[in-house]
Amino acid sequence: MTAAYVALEGGHVIEGRGRAPGTANGEIVFTTAYTGYEESLTDPSYEEQVLTFSYPLIGNYGVREERFESDRIHPRAVVARELTESVTDWLESEGVPAMDHLDTREIVTDIREGGAMKCGIAVGESVTEEDALAELDDCVAMSDHAEIGAQVSVGEAEEYGPDDPEAPSVALIDCGVKGSIISSLVERGASVSVLPYDATTEDVLETDPDLLFISNGPGDPANYEAAVALVSELTGEVPIAGICLGQQIVARALGGTTEKMAFGHRGVNQPVLDLDSKRVVMTTQNHGYTVGDPGDRLAVAQVNVNDDTPEGLVGTDADVITRQYHPEANPGPHDSLTFFDDVLAMTDAQSQPTVPADD
């Protein structure tokens, strides 16, 4: 049996069976989703992380490229109770170490009690615990990945949707966008310009946008200074929307704060309460940071039922709407797909800067 070890922050080492060889390190996190492993593995929000699947069998319906959310696997390594050959062959082809035949309940418990933590993984015929511990020693904290946006963003502008001057024009800042977010906008008739994570105001205005959209992505929102500045400059000039990391960036731009969560929300069964309608919807989530204080220019519209963290924000003085969860729901429930209709509806009546009326 191929050897495999995962070393957790603090020195706890767990042995398993090696399925795809290699060494890696990253922040170890877990997802409670029991389907959608293809979408999870190709979600850019897992960049620089080691993904643990809490569901015991991963790969039972194969691997199909049409389900991918990006062009590659993003977690640095994968841990599961049982991985099928179809998944391990895929992981090995992309050079992503993987291990199984270990008690993932133990790892999930460690993360819930100690929080998301650094880890090192070593998989191979002759690896030892010391190899995993060496990887752990080299691991960098998530907040220290200052340029993580560059690892997942487009290098230059890309265009999607109709070439129609009458179509709503969306300037989407790619901080690690999932493909289904772009598809959700295009399916509703929008023309989408996907711009790099560090796009300037001039870059955005060149697209003549009806809407500025800040995407999901990995890492600490404090490290996305260009996107924060962009939102600050364009609030009130053009409607703004954001998903996941995008909500956090918008909050920071408008005077709010963000903070790291103990172990985050990752799965497809997170309950969210809409404070206006009092309706609870089930949502797909993948984030390790959250909005602390939204500030005076944003109001909390939705909260997580389990811990009261903000799940939706709206502007108090400009057209702004954000969601912490993933309304595109790939994978997951479709309860919140109308978010994209609400976002594009803002393009019909763009907000103007608030100016006192003349007497």
**176-232 pLDDT, tens digit each:** 999 999 999 999 999 999 999 999 999 999 999 999 999 999 999 999 999 999 999
103, 204: one domain: no
169, 111: one domain: no
pLDDT value for 358: 37
270 is in an annotated binding site: no
Confidence check: pLDDT of 359 > 90: no
pLDDT value for 330: 85
Among the listed residues 190, 161, 162, 136, the one whose alpha carbon sits nearest the alpha carbon of residue 26:
136
198, 306: one domain: yes
Q: Using CA atoms, how far apart are residues 226 and 97, in angstroms rounded to an integer?
A: 33
**220-271 pLDDT, tens digit each:** 999 999 999 999 999 999 999 999 999 999 999 999 999 999 999 999 999 9
Q: What is the mean pLDDT of residues 53-70?
A: 97
108, 140, 172 — which closes off a domain? 140
Range of the domain at 100: 3-140
DSSP string, 241-262: EEETHHHHHHHHHTT--EEEEE
In a domain, 289, yes or no: yes
Among the listed residues 22, 12, 10, 26, the one whose alpha carbon sits nearest the alpha carbon of residue 99:
22
Q: What is the mean pLDDT of residues 308-327?
A: 97
- Residue 347 to residues 191, 307, 322, 352: CA-CA distances in angstroms? 12, 33, 15, 12
**327-339 pLDDT, tens digit each:** 998 888 888 889 9
Confidence bin at 298 (pLDDT 50/70/90) = very high
In a domain, 356, yes or no: no
248 is in an annotated binding site: yes
pLDDT value for 251: 98
Q: How far apart are the first and last CA of the chain?
A: 83
pLDDT value for 334: 86
217 is in an annotated binding site: yes
189 is in an annotated binding site: no
Q: What is the CATH number of the domain that holds 274?
A: 3.40.50.880
289 is in an annotated binding site: yes
pLDDT value for 348: 83
Q: Using CA atoms, how far apart are residues 93 and 91, in angstroms rounded to an integer?
A: 5
CB 32 within 8 A of CB 154: no
Q: Using CA atoms, how far apart are residues 140 and 299, in angstroms rounded to an integer?
A: 34
245 is in an annotated binding site: yes
Q: Using CA atoms, how far apart are residues 312 and 285, in angstroms rounded to an integer?
A: 13
CA 214 to chain centre: 12
198, 311: one domain: yes
- Residue 229 to residues 91, 151, 170, 215, 222: CA-CA distances in angstroms? 37, 20, 18, 15, 11
> Looking at the annotation, which residues are catalytic?
244, 326, 328
Q: Using CA atoms, how far apart are residues 86 and 83, in angstroms rounded to an integer?
A: 8
172 is in an annotated binding site: no
pLDDT value for 329: 86
136, 191: one domain: no
In a domain, 247, yes or no: yes
Mean pLDDT of the chain: 95
95, 161: one domain: no
225, 83: one domain: no
List the beta strands (DSSP E) in the chain: 3-8, 13-20, 22-31, 49-53, 57-58, 77-79, 82-83, 98-100, 117-124, 158-160, 169-174, 191-196, 211-214, 240-243, 258-274, 280-291, 298-304, 310-315, 320-323
Confidence check: pLDDT of 120 > 50: yes
Q: Which two tokens stand for residue 59?
A: 């790969």
Which residues lie across from 14 on neighbouring strands? 6
Q: What is the mean pLDDT of residues 11-16?
A: 95
Phi-psi region of 4 (alpha: psi -120 to 50; beta: other; left: phi over 0): beta
pLDDT value for 219: 98
CB 216 within 8 A of CB 243: yes
Q: What is the mean pLDDT of residues 298-322?
A: 98
Confidence check: pLDDT of 305 > 90: yes
77, 195: one domain: no
Percent of the chain whose predicted confidence (pLDDT) is above 90: 93
Split into its structural domains, the chain has a count of: 2
317, 238: one domain: yes
Confidence check: pLDDT of 349 > 60: no
140, 164, 182 — which closes off a domain? 140
126, 232: one domain: no
pLDDT value for 350: 44
26 is in an annotated binding site: no
140, 158, 193 — which closes off a domain? 140
CB 295 within 8 A of CB 256: yes
**89-109 pLDDT, tens digit each:** 999 999 999 999 999 999 999
Confidence check: pLDDT of 15 > 90: yes
Confidence check: pLDDT of 354 > 70: no
In a domain, 12, yes or no: yes
Identify the helix (H) or strand (E) that includes residue 152.
helix 148-152
